Structure 1
Amino acid sequence: MTRGSGRPGAGRRDAILKVAARLFAERGYHAIGMAELGEATGLGRGTLYHYIKSKEDLLHDIAREYIADLVEAAERTLQDEAEPAARLRMLGRELIEKIASHQAELTVCFRELHSLSEPWRTEVLELHRRYEAAWRDTMQEGAEAGVFRPYDPIVLKGVLGMYFYSYLWLRAEDSRAPVAIADRLNDLAIRMLVPAIAASSAGSR
């Protein structure tokens, strides 16, 4: 998703979103006020209202835009990659790379969703549902093809949680590249999904 183009003041607004995401991630959405946001952005509270309508307006944009990016990438991956295991690895890599490059924004996206009022909460929840559906469809197709165990929604939640909660421990200064971390998590996910006989055969090689 392209940001910062086509709208007057878009670049400044994107900079405000980045500062807001950092503060919301560090201290929590409800702990930050507009006066503090104005000071942190260097704009002052009055000027800040020129670019945004409210603090919740900022939260909505952060929560929506980054999960929308993941949905767009995931649905494109579903079209481009037919093989379920390869597709799952692509989904995992996309997710970890996004969290690593936008950790504050994804922290807010995952942790502060409950702070949105309606209809914004429902809008963002629908994006989360679509993203989860990409993983669900991949696991179901793998099960139907015999390369994964029978589909289990609990396993889906467990696999997604393993990736999602990396926002708690991924660090920019980590010497491991995001792609290497994604590959480790992908290996774990595949082991959870492949039939026991196949997993045993792979482990004995």
Structure 2
Amino acid sequence: MTPTHPQETEDHVSGEQPADSTRDRILQVASQIFAVKGYHGAGVSELGEAAGLQRGALYYHIGSKEDLLFDLCKRHVDEALTRGRAAVASTPDPREQLRRLVHAHLNTLAERRSDVIVAEHEMRSLTGDRSVRLRALRREYQSLFEEVFERGVAAGVFRTAHPIDVMGVLGLLNYTYVWLDPKGPTSVDEIAERLVVLIIDGMAAH
């Protein structure tokens, strides 16, 4: 599935639009444009036109183009963290925690594909404190998986919780955004379940 170029959004309410709604619109069109053209390939004027804003108004809402990129990447990781924490908190069993984490992960990728493309391809363009903060958030998300595997090792159901193994699992899951098609013949949850079996078989204690 290839992200489509955003169409200009029309306001259906007269008068000044609420700031939150305007910012959400900016984030949505920026996510789609960055996913197609890349961060460096997208111009501020193009972003403003797609969002229905003049250049000055756009900067008022986003601060800077890099701030906008940071907010998009952070939005994706925040969503993954929220769903991941809920998945882990929903059951005490490590195997089931892993299963629910995988389902949450793939559903997040499927529902926010343009955000995922931006986060995976354009995060390297972040500098200074923005880069540090985003890497810390991603590390926090990785720790959800590490802690599940650590609990599984303690319970005798997983054989390893080594960070390299966990990064391998996350690499497997993250790459699915390249080929995952929510409208395809195999549902996202069916794909998630197959990957759960693959991961558990590979990590199971023998």
TM-score by shorter chain over 0.5? yes
Aligned to 2:38: 28
Using the alignment, how far apart are the partners of 1:109 and 1:91 within structure 2? 19
What TM-score do you get using the length of structure 2 for normalisation? 0.86
1:33-56 Cα deviation digits (max 9, x unpaired): 101112222324233223221111
Q: Which amino acid aligns with 1:71?
A: L
Aligned to 1:80: 90
Shift of 1:118: 1.6
Shift of 1:172: 4.1
Using the alignment, how far apart are the partners of 2:90 and 2:189 within structure 1? 20
Aligned to 1:59: 69
Aligned to 2:48: 38
Using the alignment, how far apart are the partners of 2:26 and 2:197 within structure 1? 38
The alignment status of 1:140 with 2:150, answered yes or no, reads yes
* 1:10–1:81 distance in 2 versus 1, CA, 3 Å: same
Using the alignment, how far apart are the partners of 1:172 and 1:42 within structure 2? 29
Aligned to 2:137: 127
What TM-score do you get using the length of structure 1 for normalisation? 0.86
Aligned to 1:200: none
Count the aligned residue pairs: 190
Aligned to 1:150: 160
Q: Which amino acid aligns with 1:98?
A: T
Aligned to 2:78: 68
Shift of 1:114: 1.4
Q: 1:182 aligns with which of 178, 184, 192?
A: 192
Shift of 1:151: 2.5
**Mapped contact 2:88–2:100 kept (Cα < 8 A):** no
Shift of 1:75: 2.4
The alignment status of 1:115 with 2:125, answered yes or no, reads yes
Using the alignment, how far apart are the partners of 1:168 and 1:21 within structure 2? 16
Q: Which amino acid aligns with 2:57?
A: T
Using the alignment, how far apart are the partners of 2:95 and 2:40 within structure 1? 41
The alignment status of 1:93 with 2:103, answered yes or no, reads yes
Shift of 1:181: 1.4
The alignment status of 1:18 with 2:15, answered yes or no, reads no
Aligned to 1:203: none
Using the alignment, how far apart are the partners of 1:26 and 1:40 within structure 2? 14
Q: Which amino acid aligns with 2:156?
A: G
Aligned to 2:180: 170
Aligned to 2:59: 49
Shift of 1:85: 0.6
1:149-176 Cα deviation digits (max 9, x unpaired): 1323222111111111111112343232
Using the alignment, how far apart are the partners of 1:44 and 1:184 within structure 2? 47
Which secondary structure state, in structure 1, belongs to the residue aligned with residue 159 of structure 2?
coil
